[in-house]
Amino acid sequence: MSQFTLIEYVPNRGQHIKFVVFGCPTDQNTHEYAKLLKIRNITEIIKVSDKNYSRDAFDQHGITINDGFIYPDGQFPNKELIGRWLSYVVTKFTNKDVPAIGIHCDAGLGRAPVLVAIALIHCCGMKPMNAITYIRSSIKYAFNRPQLLGLINYHNSDGCCIVA
């Protein structure tokens, strides 16, 4: 089973954000995942992987699965997806009492950490390299070359996302 990694940041300015990053569940372990996520007060999972698994265990634990942010494995998300992601994150974390949001890709090393890094840059005002380092302090092998280049070239300008 995948490791669950909490990425939480409480900035001096901006929004307090919390994510639990993990690898994709399988039909054989969804009940274990659901129990562990429920213990962490996760009520929603962002599914960034196109792999399929049974949602029954998550439904039974009151955990919803949002598959509106899937993008190709090993890639950096496009501007449209980034815009939807940032709208979602800003809305979710406006309430300071929101629990962490679960987010997974296939292994928990690429697509999910990329979206978390974009949230750190946009919502918390982190510089791209600081967001990369912050996530890699918890997820050692996060990001491949195209994802790193996408993050390094990503800019946040007064709440407007710009992908260079």
> How distant, in Å, are the alpha carbons of 4, 22, 110, 114 from that of 147?
21, 17, 7, 7
3-state SS class at 101: strand
* 73 assigned to active site: yes
Which CATH number is 113's domain given? 3.90.190.10
pTM score, two decimals?
A: 0.86
Domain count, the chain: 1
Half-sphere exposure of 72 (CA within 13 A, CB side): 6
Exactly one of 73, 123, 160, 161 is catalytic; which is it? 73
Average pLDDT over residues 62-75: 92
Residue 77: predicted pLDDT: 94
Q: Say whether pLDDT at 113 is over 70.
A: yes
Active site residue 24: no
Averaged confidence pLDDT in the chain? 84
- Residue 152 domain boundaries: 5-163
Catalytic residue among 24, 105, 123, 124: 105
Confidence tier at 69 by pLDDT (50, 70, 90): very high
High-pLDDT (> 70) share of the chain, %: 88
